[in-house]
Amino acid sequence: MEETGLLDEVRMPIEPQAITYEEVIAYLQNSNLDFHPTQSSISFPIIERICRRLKSGNEFSPIQIVDNKIIDGHHRYVGYNLMKKKLERVPGGANASFHKNLAWSEVDVDINDYDSEEIKTEYENKYDL
């Protein structure tokens, strides 16, 4: 047999998805969460990454809360709750979205990855940053 120095086949293990889009939707529709959202949409890819990292033993920074409303940390909050983990919280400062009175069932779970360069550029252009 002639050796070529190449492996016939290399398979890298694919990490299984930590949570599905449908599970996130069902959870938000049917759960009675302690803290209320102040943003009307969240990104499924970010939530999925948080869940996967939590399963691997990673931790994230605390969420910021004012009057039982999340000021910063919507994705982390949902991810920790889906993984049944306790997330630290700290007082935050009210911002423009603080006055929204939303229920989790009203929050849109977007399939777009808010961390992608395309979405970041779109946001910067929209808000002239």
Whether 47 is in a domain gets the answer: yes
Average pLDDT over every residue of 93-107: 82
Whether 1 is in a domain gets the answer: no
Check which CATH number belongs to the domain holding 50 and give it.
3.90.1530
Q: Which residues lie closer than 8 Å to 60 by C-beta, 6 or more apart?
A: 50, 53, 54, 76, 79, 80, 87
| Predicted confidence (pLDDT) per residue in 36-75, tens digit | 999 999 999 999 999 999 999 999 999 999 999 999 999 9
Looking at the chain, the whole-number percentage of residues with pLDDT higher than 70 is 77
**Torsion 111-66-18-28 (CA) sign:** negative
Whether 8 is in a domain gets the answer: no
Whether 69 is in a domain gets the answer: yes
Confidence of residue 29 (pLDDT cuts 50, 70, 90): very high
Whether 29 is in a domain gets the answer: yes
Whether 36 is in a domain gets the answer: yes
Its domain, for residue 42, covers 21-126
Domain count of the fold of the chain:
1
116 vs 88, higher pLDDT: 88
Whether 15 is in a domain gets the answer: no
What pLDDT is recorded for position 59? 95
Whether 4 is in a domain gets the answer: no
